[in-house]
Amino acid sequence: MRAMLPWWLLLLALAGCAAPKVQTAAPRPACVQDGVASWYAPHPGQTRMADGGRLDSAALTAAHRYLPFGTMVRVTNLDTGRSAVVRITDRGPAVRSRIIDVSPAAAKLLEMKHEGTAHVRLEIDGAGDAGCLLREAANS
């Protein structure tokens, strides 16, 4: 005669057979800064940016006081919802109350060329793991 297992032992055994739970990695937070942006026009005779590259009004570039050259930043016009991803190639803006200067091409995409300035949000995707460069820059 075969001995019967207690019902709770059978449930415990079956629970071990359940499909493993897949844990998805949490999205890395974006580094965010809000403020006023302006756009720059090339000055007569200006052919180089601070990173050593050539000035190109048609490129999606920007000037920021502290972010490393080559950093890709999403700039969103908070009034229109339009955004552009720009590469930091220069230092600026010269006006202290502004957080970024964008190229004429970026200003056109952001629909801020006519006004000259716009309230924007800057985002660096996935910058949360290494610390927020925008926050660090603002505090230095």
pLDDT in tens, 73-132: 999 999 999 999 999 999 999 899 999 999 999 999 999 999 999 999 999 865 554 457
- pTM for this model (two decimals): 0.72
pLDDT at 133: 64
What are the tokens at 122?
A: 């800057």
Helix residue ranges, H only, the chain: 7-15, 104-109, 133-139
Strand 98-102 and strand 117-124: the pairing is unpaired
Looking at 51-131, list the stretches that DSSP marks H as alpha helix, in order from N- to C-terminal side: 104-109
